[in-house]
A = this chain, B = another copy of it.
Amino acid sequence: MISPCCRYVSKAAAKTQMEFEYDGPSMKTEVPGPRSKELTKQLGEIQNVGAINFFCNYEESRGNYLVDVDGNRMLDVYTQISSIPIGYPAEFPMFTSFSSQSAFVNRPALGIMPPENFPEKLAESLLSVAPSGMSRVQTMACGSCSNENAYKAMFIWYRNKERGHNIPSDEDVSSCMINQSPGCPDFSILSFMGGFHGRTMGCLATTHSKAIHKLDVPSFDWPIAPFPKLKYPLEEFTRENAQEEARCLEEVEDLIVQWRQKGRPVAGIVIEPIQAEGGDNHATPDFFKKLRNIAHKHGSAFHVDEVQTGGGATGKFWAHEHWGMDDPADIVSFSKKMLTGGFYHKDELQAYRIFNTWMGDPSKNLFLAEVLNVIRRENLLEEVTRSGKTLLQGLYQLQDQYPNLLSSARGQGTFCAIDIRDDATRNSILLKARDKGVLLGGCGDRSIRFRPALVFKEYHVHMFLNVFSDVLAEHN
């Protein structure tokens, strides 16, 4: 069952400050084990537990290893749906000081009465990694709220452009109170089939990855463009891929014109640099550059949703940096690995009238500042690039070895994925890998996505590939 040709020998681990961790997975029970099952039953009395995998012991979890309540220790290549930046830390020095306690206990209404260190912490954290061309940022409590408010900023910007100024008419004011145009204009956001941008009602109108997200919820009549269906590796299919991208771009322009004619002009275009929930679908920098130009040409704002791709997993801090553009976007939203939600925006998309009670949570900015220090100090983006190359190389090898089982290995940094023969086999592989102590996630119809933390080193890749190879051998 075990294929000896692709065994990796783990190198000795160079331990650093943040990296006290275990030396491998260790499984005691099936997963979920008896304690997890008992707790799932308990929680089932309180809320829907249909999606619960198992319960965790976060106190015992370290680095790349997640420990569950039955004592199973798993190499975590999914990281809470891609949202743990530097693995599971044991503790943060900041907790010992009183002033940080105060930030946790006394939650301010950031939009009206921020704490003294708020500008400084924003500068140390979010602004220190601001995308090119953006010096302004607004925090929010989660990814959906970030996108909802980014859409609102685009709508307000578009309407002000249309008016020529930002003073609403009496008719605007009175009609908006009853949800009617012109106060609530019939603007739209153009999104892409396969995209995921969240599950609140504005976001959900731009999400098209799975029916289960959207079913039974009223929506907006907004245009939906095809996202390129490319062949991988991209560099081997440049001609076909360029044709496919051209087809999609043409469709985008057609839709913008159609929706303008329908009286629902496209105020903004929203897109992920890599469609994640929708199946890790990539497009080329050329596609994004041309799409950006189309947005410019038609006066629509360009919103890059980096909620899943942002924070370093692609080997650059923002996935859109791979496009090599000085002016890549008007708005960039984030959450997950950034620990707080929010969005960066260009000056002209001033987030006027973007407001709510909490506007995020300043305690998350404190954490983020610490996390960014670790990323810099330990050169984690280089680490990711190195580990990512090894991971993708390993996936290519396995794909050659199991051509009937695997296809379309792809990725940037450690943000990698591979397609499995079919849905049922994919799900079986996910469960078998978990039984062997490797935690993975699916995406799209039949893909596996790899979403390790930024501290996933080459020896973790080798450890993962060994387990994965064993599991594949069982499914061949």
Residues of chain A whose beta carbon lies under 8 Å from any beta carbon of chain B: 35, 39, 42-43, 45-48, 50-59, 61, 66, 69, 80-81, 83-84, 88-92, 95, 98-99, 101-109, 111-116, 118-119, 122-123, 127, 135-138, 141-145, 148-149, 151-152, 155-156, 158-160, 168, 172-174, 176-180, 183-188, 193, 198-202, 205, 208, 211-222, 224, 335-336, 339, 341, 350-358, 361, 363, 367
- 13 A-B residue pairs with Cβ-Cβ distance under 8 Å, sorted by A, are A52-B114, A53-B112, A53-B113, A55-B115, A59-B99, A83-B357, A89-B105, A144-B145, A168-B211, A178-B208, A184-B214, A200-B202, A212-B353
Q: Are B214's CB and A144's CB within 8 A? A: no
**Which listed residue (B57, B135, B183) contacts A214, Cβ 8 A?**
B183
Q: Which residues of B contact A89 (CB under 8 A)?
A: 105-106
Pick the contact of A201: B186, B200, B363 (CB < 8 A): B200
The answer to whether A200 and B199 touch across the interface, beta carbons within 8 angstroms, is no
B109 touches A92 (CB 8 A): no
Which residues in B have their C-beta under 8 angstroms from that of A358?
83, 142
- Verify B179–A122 contact, CB threshold 8 A: no
Given contacts A59-B102, A105-B91, A202-B202, contact A136 B81 (CB under 8 A): no
**Which residue of B69, B116, B141 contacts A116 across the interface (Cβ within 8 Å)?**
B69
CA distance A80 to B438 in the complex (A): 44
Write out the residue numbers on chain B whose beta carbons fall within 8 Å of the beta carbon of A202. Answer: 200-202
Question: Please, how many angstroms separate the alpha-carbon atoms of A145 and B173 in the complex?
Answer: 26
Instruction: Give, as a whole number of angstroms, the nearest-CB distance from A452 to chain B.
Output: 15
Is B48 in contact with A354, judged by CB distance below 8 angstroms? yes
**Interface pair B46/A127, CB less than 8 Å apart:** yes
Residue of B nearest to A52 (CB): B112
In the assembled complex, the Cα of A103 lies from the Cα of B115 at a distance in Å of 23
Closest Cβ of chain B: how far from A157's Cβ, in Å? 9
User: B105 to A357, Cβ gap below 8 A?
Assistant: no
- Tell me how far the C-beta of A226 lies from the nearest C-beta in chain B, rounded to whole angstroms: 12
CA distance in complex: A127, B45 (Å): 11
> A119-B46, A200-B145 are known contacts. Are A155 and B339 too (CB-CB below 8 A)?
no
Expressed in whole angstroms, the Cα–Cα distance for A92 and B101 within the complex equals: 8
Q: A99-B59, A216-B155, A218-B186 are in contact. Are A177 and B208 (CB under 8 A)?
A: yes
Given A46-B127, A46-B137, A107-B83, also A168-B53 (CB < 8 A): no
List chain B residues, Cβ under 8 A from A174.
211
Q: Point out the residue from B98, B107, B222 that lies within 8 Å of A91, measured CB to CB.
A: B98
B103 touches A219 (CB 8 A): no
